[in-house]
Structure 1
Amino acid sequence: MSRWRLRRPRGGVEVASAIVVAVAVLVLVVRGAVVAAVAARDAWPVLLVVAVLGGLVAVWRVRQTAGERQRARERLAVLRFTLDECDAMDDRQFEYALRDLLIRDGWPARRVGGRGDQAADVIGDHAQRGRIVVQAKHTRVGGRVGSSVMYAVKGTAGPAHRADHAVVVTNGTFTRDAMAWGDRHGVRWIDRQRLQRWANEGIALHELLAMPARQRRALRRTA
Structure 2
Amino acid sequence: MILRGEYGPRWWEIAPAFATLLLAIGLPLFSVGWLWGRVGWWAGLLAAAVIACGIRAVVLRRREVVARNRRRAVRFTLDNVDAADDREFRRMVGRLLRRDGWTARGVLANDRGTVHLVGNDSSGRRMGCAFERGIETVGQDGPRAAAALRPVSAAPDDDGQEDPGGSGPLLLVVSSGSFARDRVVWAARSGVRLVDRGQLLRWAAGENLRVLLDLDRPAAGPE
User: With structure 2 as the length reference, what TM-score do the two structures score?
Assistant: 0.53
User: What is the DSSP-based 3-state SS (H/G/I as helix, E as strand, rest coil) of the residue aligned with 1:194?
Assistant: helix
In structure 1, C-alpha distance between the alignment counterparts of 2:187 and 2:130, rounded to whole Å: 13
In structure 2, C-alpha distance between the alignment counterparts of 1:117 and 1:132, rounded to whole Å: 22
Shift of 1:212: 2.5
Letter in 1 for 2:180: T
Shift of 1:165: 1.3
Q: Which residue of 2 aligns with 1:20?
A: none
User: What is the DSSP-based 3-state SS (H/G/I as helix, E as strand, rest coil) of the residue aligned with 1:121?
Assistant: strand
Mean alpha-carbon deviation: is it higher for 173-182 or for 94-103? Answer: 173-182
Higher relative contact order (CA 8 A, sep 6+): 1
Which residues of 2 match residues 103-182 of structure 1 at below 5 A?
103-113=98-108, 116=111, 121-128=116-123, 130-141=125-136, 142-145=144-147, 149=151, 152-153=152-153, 157=155, 160=157, 164-182=169-187
User: What is the DSSP-based 3-state SS (H/G/I as helix, E as strand, rest coil) of the residue aligned with 1:144?
Assistant: coil
Shift of 1:122: 1.0
Q: Which residue of 1 aligns with 2:210?
A: 206
Structure 1 residues 210 and 190, CA gap change in structure 2 (3 angstroms): same
Structure 1 residues 118 and 179, CA gap change in structure 2 (3 angstroms): farther
Structure 1 residues 120 and 92, CA gap change in structure 2 (3 angstroms): closer
CA contact (8 A) 2:132 2:150 kept: no
Shift of 1:204: 1.0
Letter in 1 for 2:153: V
| Rg comparison, structure with higher value | 1
Structure 1 residues 80 and 213, CA gap change in structure 2 (3 angstroms): same
In structure 2, C-alpha distance between the alignment counterparts of 1:80 and 1:107, rounded to whole Å: 16
User: What is the DSSP-based 3-state SS (H/G/I as helix, E as strand, rest coil) of the residue aligned with 1:107?
Assistant: coil
Which residues of 2 match residues 17-166 of structure 1 at below 5 A?
76-78=70-72, 79-113=74-108, 116=111, 121-128=116-123, 130-141=125-136, 142-145=144-147, 149=151, 152-153=152-153, 157=155, 160=157, 164-166=169-171
Q: Which residue of 2 aligns with 1:189?
A: 194
Letter in 2 for 1:164: P
- What is the CA RMSD across the aligned residues, in angstroms? 3.4
CA contact (8 A) 1:99 1:122 kept: yes
Structure 1 residues 76 and 124, CA gap change in structure 2 (3 angstroms): farther
TM-superposition CA deviations, 1:117-162 (whole Å, max 9, x none): 896521121022601111022333334236653xx416xx16x558
Structure 1 residues 167 and 117, CA gap change in structure 2 (3 angstroms): farther
Shift of 1:211: 1.1
Letter in 2 for 1:145: A
User: With structure 1 as the length reference, what TM-score do the two structures score?
Assistant: 0.53
TM-superposition CA deviations, 1:163-213 (whole Å, max 9, x none): 70111001111101101221232111011011011012x111121111128
Structure 1 residues 147 and 90, CA gap change in structure 2 (3 angstroms): closer
Structure 1 residues 120 and 153, CA gap change in structure 2 (3 angstroms): farther
In structure 2, C-alpha distance between the alignment counterparts of 1:74 and 1:173, rounded to whole Å: 29
Identity %, equivalent residues: 31
Structure 1 residues 211 and 74, CA gap change in structure 2 (3 angstroms): closer
CA contact (8 A) 1:182 1:189 kept: yes
